Structure formats: structure tokens, C-alpha cells
Amino acid sequence: MYQLFGAAKLATWFTSLSSVIAILTMVIGLASGRTVPGGTVAVGWWVWTSLGTGATLGGLILFGLGSSGLFPWLCRCRPLCGVFPDLDGTWKGTLESNWPQVSTRLPRAPLDGPLQPVAVTLRIKARLLSIHLTLETETRYSDSETVLVGIGKSGGETPSLTYVYRSRVPGPLPTDTQSHHGAARLELRDEDGVPTLRGNYWTDRNWERGFNTAGMAVFRKEKSFSMSRV
């Protein structure tokens, strides 16, 4: 998720948080009656240990919370809900493929009539430093997992997911393969109050025979626990 802003800004957040904690550590120490040590070396050591405490606690707070299950909850409450999109959870949707057009190049079409949209379930695990996706068709014909994923902003505003995945097909049809790779670019939108991921995907499915496909993917987020945004 940090990719929305980049590693430089994440480092700035860490430095700022650590510095604030270090200053608070020194202020609390003085308020509790501790005297400032005499001598340049002693003062330097006092400041250094305070900075070390700040860095340790800052890392635990920023990266500890960012890697825990609390991070998705924080993304649902202010002010973080306006900073990080609420991607974590289960998304239900469909995949619409150009396979009907591709299949016309076969000597005999493998299916009668046009294909219907395939119902799929997308599960996203989003943390501060990582995002992982798994996708499974309702028919259990295939499932996939993330190889590479990135998050950014389309046009500088709309959050978008771009990812490469590997799909496994335990029992492929004669025109299919047991595994293939694909990629997708999905934009996060608010459609009638429902968070929706929508965009194109494409695959190298059976590309040796010219049957690689592309299409449209649409996923709508299922309702999940929501913390107060007030």
C-alpha cells in the first residue's frame, strides 16, 4: 500500500514519528525529575539513546501495525480512510472473456453458443508493505495467485491495482492448458455506494495455438466490519 506514496514518503513518516517519540521520551524524562547529564559525551549519549528509543517504538508502531490485521480496520476510519483505500477483504465479481470470438478459429467450436460471464471470488490481503491476491472461479475449474502486484493512482487520483498472476487448471479442457499467466489493471471506483474494482485483463493461455484471451473483470466488495469514521 505504501506504493501509493513511495518509499521516500514512508521513510519520512518513519523519521517524523521516531523523532516525535524521541522528543517525548526526553520531555517525559525531564518531567519525571531526571536531570540532563553533564558533559558533551554524556549529553550526546542521552540524545542518542532517546533517538534509539524513538526509532524502535516508531518502527513497532508504523510497521507493526502496518503488517498486522489491525491495518485494514485503520483504513476504514478517519483519517486513514482518506489516505489508504479499503482493499482488504472478499470481492465478488465476474470475468468476461473474448473466448467466443477466439473459439471461431477452431475447426470445431468447443462449446455451443456464447459463453456467459464467469462468477469469481477475489480475496485481497492488504497491508502497509504488501498486497496479496487470490482468485477462484465459482465452478472451481481454476484458481490463481499473485506473482507481482502494484498499487498506484490512475490520472493522479483514482487508486488502481496492476498485477500479474499464475492460474492453475487441474483438469483442463482439450483447448486449455494446466497453467498460464495473466495480468490485469483494475481501477477502484465507487459505484452506487459499493467499492468496485473494474478493468481489463489478458492472458497467455494456450498462446502457442493462438488462443490467448482478454476481457473485462468486475469485482464488488462484500460488506465487512467497519470501524467508526467519525
pLDDT of residue 226: 44
Tens digits of residue pLDDT in 155-199: 667 889 999 999 888 888 777 888 999 999 999 998 988 999 999
pLDDT of residue 203: 93
Give the domain ranges of the chain. Answer: 2-67, 86-221
Q: For 32, how many CA atoms within 13 A lie in the half-sphere containing its CB?
A: 7
pLDDT of residue 118: 86
pLDDT of residue 230: 33
pLDDT of residue 228: 37
pLDDT of residue 197: 95
CATH of domain 86-221: 2.40.128
C-alpha cell, 126: 492488504
pLDDT of residue 94: 93
Parts of the chain with a pLDDT under 70: 33-38, 79-82, 106-116, 155-156, 224-230
